[in-house]
Amino acid sequence: MNVPLSPLIHLIDDDAAVRDSLSLLIGTVGLRVQTWADPQEFMRSFDRLSIGAIVLDVRMPGISGLTVLDTLVAQGVDQPVIMLTGHGTVELCRRAFKSGAAEFLEKPVDDEVLLEALQSAVRQHVRSRERHQANQQAREHYAQLSEREREVLGLIVEGLTNKEIGRALGLSPRTVETHRANLFAKLQVDSLAHLIRHYASLVDSTET
Amino acid sequence: MHNALQRYGVRLLVWAVLSALGCLLLARWELAQLRDAFETDARISHRLLSQRAVQHDAVLATLALLQPNAPSASPDSAEQRLSSVYPQILGVQRRDPGGSWSGAGLEAAEQASRQARGAVLANLDFNAERPRYQLVLAGQPASFALLIDVQASVPWADWSMPVQTSPVRVTLEHAGQAFVVQPGHMDEAGWRFEFHKHLASSSQPFDVVAIRQVLWVELPWALMVLWVAAVAAAVVAWSAWQVQRSARRRAEELLRVGQVARLNTLGELAAGMEHELNQPLTAILANTQAAKRLLNDEPPELPTALRAMDQAVAQARRAADVLARLRRTVEPSGTSQPGESVELERVVRSALDLLEPECKRRAVAVTVQTEQPATVFAERVAMEQIVHNLLTNALQALDQVPATERQLMVHIAIEQGAGVLRVADSGPGIAPDVLPRVFEPFFTTREGGLGLGLSLCETLVTGMGGALRAQAHAPRGALFFLSLPLAPMGASTP
């Protein structure tokens, strides 16, 4: 993994004064802020891999914040998006949440409300990234197993003992023991509980 | 022009058709009345004449039956005394067996009577100086004949019509001769009613002929003229009412459109203002809150906090600029408002006219009292708006009290050189703590109210150099006091 940098907040607003003041405010809690005046420019060049969140003004010249939100979601951007608006109607709010906004805040926004929303969005993003990463690793390890080891793994997950597995696959209990040790090593797990937690879902998904 | 012609044409047509129909019905009704009267008279005449004829038959039959044996020449004989009882009977003849009649034709009549077993007519002469006829009845042993005076046999005492002046002509006709009982008026023009019936006596089957000539002049002309005039008046009133109604509708529509337009503008203004102001406000809030956080840090980050405060100040100025710009845009340019002479009472009347349905619906008793007629110098449209607003407010306040206690009073006077209009209601009144705020924009106590009506009124009044105040009204309710400068003498009143 990269050097753990502090999370990065992308702030998109066409008004320079709003950009400056909000980035100053967000900076006081130790979050890094990158400001964008032009939503098109933002979508072209922001760092999609960064951990953090996006703060998006609804009313901007040229393109609506809602359109930007739709585009981001369609492109699979996983950073949570917080919408900011000066003229909040119920309809606008409903549309924003339906499109996948994490939060919908009205201008002028109170510091605690904004910072709280940002921190919770960042936490959520970090967790989702970690989950994603763990999943990725498990997949890589699983790929290294032999055909026989996968069969044995499947039966272990189903809760069979070594003796039962041997009977089911026509192997001696000693051989099953060996496969079991190998697959524990390849999957980098040290307990049955660990094995089942990380790999049960993979077994299920590859079997079907 | 074409339209007007069409409208008037339609009205003229309606008037003509209604007039003609009414006159026709009136004429027919009058003719029916006249016919009824005529037929009644004719029947009465026929009955009276028939009764006399039957009487003659009876007298003759009695003579033939009783056979009074006194010589007929004697003045005391029953036959001769008959004339004094029945003046129409001029004389009685008797033919004893072997005797003879003293006049021609009686012999033959007796023969006929014997065959017919009843009285028979003889020697009828309607054209004589005294129209007469004889009635012969063959009897056993003696036969009798009566000489009857036609003129005298008409029962004048019981006659139902004035003989000389009645328009009905009555004649008795028989065998080509006619006796005129009553001359009547005969004419060629007009309508003719006729009545024919034979007398109810087989011996004297005279035809009673009654003729009534109704002249044009007898139609109910006065009634017809009255009807035509009434229809004309109704059509005129109806079209006047329509004109008035459409004028009121148009005025209402204009007022409503005006209000909607103002509200639309206001909505757009509010949305624009919200955006324009939200940006600097967001920046101010974020800057000051960031500065607070920076100052709370250990150690405080003074330079950054200072910069944030500078930013906040700049943004506050920006917000003020937004408002100043807005005011410049919205404010009417200069003070050159088109003023004119406006009669307060006229404005009040026209506003009340517009609100009449509202007043009726709420059963509000409205009184307008003009102590002195006041003509003020003001903008007419603005005045209409203000008065309409004040009256509407009062009406809405009255919704909160029972219908029997709803009173709306308008008072016009001249006080201290200014035209003064007071609008008072008997509603719940304005609470003392609310009173100072009623002219604030967006202040309202009414559910769903915008809170702009009174504020707008005050702005308009002030713009015209007047004053608008609210106060409590004794014993209950609210009073709005509007004063405006009087129009200069001699200014034109449009």
Q: Alpha-carbon distance A69 to B96, whole Å?
A: 147
Give the separation between CA B289 and CA B292, rounded to whole angstroms.
Answer: 5
pLDDT over threshold 80, residue B212: yes
Q: What is the pLDDT of residue B326?
A: 75
Q: How many CB pairs under 8 A join A and B?
A: 76
Q: Which residue has the tokens 């006081």?
A: A28
In percent, the amount of chain B with pLDDT more than 90 equals 33
Look at B88 and B80; give whichever has higher pLDDT. Answer: B88
The better pLDDT of the pair B317, B267 is held by: B317
Q: Indicate the residue of A18, A28, A86 with minimum beta-carbon distance to B293.
A: A28
Least confident of B164-173, B231-240, B338-347: B338-347
pLDDT value, residue B27: 93
Inspect the interface and report whether the beta carbons of A110 and B289 lie closer than 8 Å.
yes
| CA atoms of B128 and B132, how far apart (whole Å) | 7
**Six-digit token pair at A124?**
């959520």
Q: Note the pLDDT tens digit of each residue in B244-260.
A: 888 888 887 777 776 66
Q: Which residues of B touch A24 (CB under 8 A)?
A: 286-287, 290, 304, 308, 311
Chain B residue at shortest CA distance from A26: B290
Cα–Cα dist A100/B120, whole Å? 129
Within 8 A by CB and 6+ apart from B453, the residues are B389, B392, B393
List of chain B residues whose C-beta atoms are within 8 Å of the C-beta of residue A111: 285-286, 289-290, 293
Rounded to the nearest angstrom, the minimum Cα separation between A18 and chain B is: 5
Interface contact A6, partner B, CB < 8 A: no
> Mean pLDDT across the stretch B426-446?
82
pLDDT of residue A114: 94
Average the pLDDT over A78-85 and give the result.
92
Residue of higher predicted confidence among B370 and A134:
B370
A115–B contact, CB cutoff 8 A: no
The mean per-residue pLDDT over the stretch B176-184 comes to 89
**Residue B138: C-alpha distances to residues B100, B310, B372, B420, B459 (Å):** 13, 154, 107, 113, 121
Give the whole-number percent of chain A exceeding pLDDT 70. Answer: 95
Residue the block writes with tokens 């119920």:
A90
Look at residue B420 in the predicted model and tell me its pLDDT.
Answer: 94
Q: B275 touching A, CB under 8 A?
A: yes
Strand partners, B213: B192
The whole-number pLDDT of residue B91 equals 86
Integer Cα distance of B264 and B272 in angstroms = 12
Least confident of A83-97, A162-176, B192-206: A83-97
Instruction: Tell me the one-letter amino acid at B390.
Output: L
Which among B279, B289, B308 has CB closest to A18?
A: B279
Q: Does B270 touch chain A (CB under 8 A)?
A: no
Average pLDDT, chain A: 87
Per-residue pLDDT, averaged over A161-170, amounts to: 89
Task: Name the residue with higher pLDDT: B252 or A73.
Answer: A73
pLDDT for B443 beyond 80: no
Q: What is the pLDDT of residues B356-366, one digit of tens each?
A: 878 888 888 89
| A130–B contact, CB cutoff 8 A | no
Nearest to A86 among B278, B284, B290 (CB): B278
What is the reported pLDDT for B332? 58
**pLDDT for res B231:** 94
3-state secondary structure chain B: CHHHHHHHHHHHHHHHHHHHHHHHHHHHHHHHHHHHHHHHHHHHHHHHHHHHHHHHHHHHHHHHHHCCCCCCCCCCCHHHHHHHHCCCEEEEEEECCCCCCCCCCHHHHHHHHHHHCCCEEEEEECCCCCCEEEEEECCCCCEEEEEEECCCCCCHHHCCCCCCCCCEEEEEEECCEEEEEECCCCCCCCEEEEEEEECCCCCCCCEEEEEEEECHHHCCHHHHHHHHHHHHHHHHHHHHHHHHHHHHHHHHHHHHHHHHHHHHHHHHHHHHHHHHHHHHHHHHHHHHHHHHHHHHCCCCCHHHHHHHHHHHHHHHHHHHHHHHHHHHHHCCCCCCCCCEEEEHHHHHHHHHHHHHHHHHHHCCEEEEEECCCCEEEECHHHHHHHHHHHHHHHHHHHCCCCHHHCEEEEEEEEECCEEEEEEEECCCCCCCCCHHHCCCCCCCCCCCCCCCHHHHHHHHHHHCCCEEEEEECCCCCEEEEEEEEECCCCCCCC
Query: What pLDDT score was predicted for residue B246?
Result: 86
- Note the pLDDT of residue A14: 87
Rounded to the nearest integer, the mean pLDDT of chain B is: 85
Q: What was the pLDDT predicted at B334?
A: 46
Element (H, E) at A10: strand A8-12
Instruction: Give the torsion sign (CA, A145, A149, A152, A156).
Output: negative
pLDDT at A62: 74
Task: Return the percentage of chain B with pLDDT > 70, whole number.
Answer: 91
pLDDT of residue A208: 41
